[in-house]
């Protein structure tokens, strides 16, 4: 972690502005804990990316939280929508005082799978960086020259070895920021199911209408009548995730639920809200 911090410090010292890419579904969990402190003297913009997958009301609450409570400029975009990445970049560089004859250097930072490379490709108008729905596609720092005398640097997405609290690590894993080879799908599905039952029961009913018979009422969902284990069990049985003898294959059922969630097929879901931030963790994450 010390090496990572030192490398980031060295890179930030050479640029004029920082474009920090966050996952709009989990803006705190997906934030590099070093950026706010190391980049406090630089122009910067927090970009809540993947808004097409996030709860729009919660995304607005996050924008208000960053801009009003923390006094940090923030914008919400979907990097796959033409023009949105460019607007975010302009909002970032407009904070920089500079001689127009000199190139402005902007560094893009963010953890794996927040969409940094997709945004870079959008800004460049061509494929200049590898993209993919897997973490750590970008392996090394890349520089791209854009119009208006701007150089933009795409840096590797790096996660720190210990992520606390545990719920934050689970949220990152559900989003795809942590490699699937390092996670337990059943644990992820249990976490995700617990969150969705509590906050988005109507989405579960719409996607898995067979749940009505198992636990919920379509007109007035009663989440107390269905827990996460029962949800996974019911989805697995209804979707044919079975082993010999009719035994539920929890691995397959869990993978199915996580795929549905990541793709947005369940709905636009946010994993954390400003109200979820504990005071102690807030200080750690933003200083």
pTM: 0.86
Model pLDDT for residues 123-179, shown as the tens digit of each residue = 988 777 655 544 443 445 678 899 889 999 888 777 776 688 889 999 999 999 988
Q: Buried b / exposed e across 209-242, counting CB within 10 Å, b at 16+?
A: eebeebbbeeeebebeebebeebbbbbbeeeebe
- At how many degrees (to 10) do helices 166-175 and 250-263 cross? 80
CATH numeric code, 2-160: 3.40.50.300
Domain ranges of the chain: 2-160, 184-263
- Of all residues in the chain, the percent with pLDDT exceeding 90 is 58
Position with higher pLDDT, 36 vs 92 = 92
pLDDT digits (tens, 9 = 90+) for 29-79: 999 888 888 888 899 999 999 999 999 999 999 999 999 999 999 999 999
* pLDDT for 283 beyond 50: no
Q: How far apart are the first and last CA of the chain?
A: 17
* Residues 260/254, Cβ–Cβ less than 8 Å: no
- Percentage of residues in the chain with pLDDT exceeding 70? 85
| Cα–Cα dist 239/19, whole Å | 42
pLDDT at residue 155, rounded to an integer: 80
Q: Which of 72, 80, 79, 81 is nearest to 39 (CA)?
A: 72
- Here the tokens at position 163 are 């992520």
The CATH number of the domain covering residues in 184-263? 1.10.1580.10
Task: State residue 174 phi and psi, 5-degree precision.
Answer: -65, -35
């Amino acid at each position: 972690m010390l090496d990572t911090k030192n490398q980031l410090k060295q890179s930030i010292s050479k640029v004029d502005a920082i474009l920090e890419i966050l996952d709009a579904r989990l803006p705190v969990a997906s934030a590099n804990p070093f950026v706010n402190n190391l980049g406090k003297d630089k122009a910067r913009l927090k970009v809540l990316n993947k808004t097409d997958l996030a709860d729009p009301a919660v995304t607005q609450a996050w924008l208000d939280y960053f801009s009003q409570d923390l006094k940090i400029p923030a914008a919400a975009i979907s990097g796959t929508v033409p023009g949105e990445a460019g607007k975010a970049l302009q909002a970032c560089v407009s904070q920089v005082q500079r001689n127009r004859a000199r190139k402005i250097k902007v560094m893009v930072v963010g953890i794996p799978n927040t969409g940094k490379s997709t945004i870079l490709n959008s800004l460049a108008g061509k494929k200049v960086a590898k993209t993919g729905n897997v973490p750590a596609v970008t392996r090394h720092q890349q520089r791209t020259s854009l119009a208006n005398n701007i150089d933009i640097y795409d840096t590797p997405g790096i996660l720190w070895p210990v992520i606390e609290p545990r719920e934050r690590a689970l949220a990152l894993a559900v989003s795809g920021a942590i490699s699937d080879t390092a996670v337990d799908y059943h644990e992820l599905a249990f976490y995700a199911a617990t969150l969705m039952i509590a906050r988005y029961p109507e989405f579960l009913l719409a996607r898995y209408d067979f749940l009505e018979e198992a636990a919920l009422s379509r007109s007035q969902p009663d989440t107390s009548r269905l827990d996460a284990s029962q949800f996974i069990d019911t989805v697995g049985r209804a979707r044919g995730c079975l082993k010999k003898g009719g035994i539920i294959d929890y691995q397959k059922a869990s993978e199915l639920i996580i795929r549905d969630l990541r793709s947005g097929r369940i709905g636009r879901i946010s994993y954390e809200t400003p109200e979820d931030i504990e005071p102690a963790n807030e200080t750690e994450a933003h200083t």
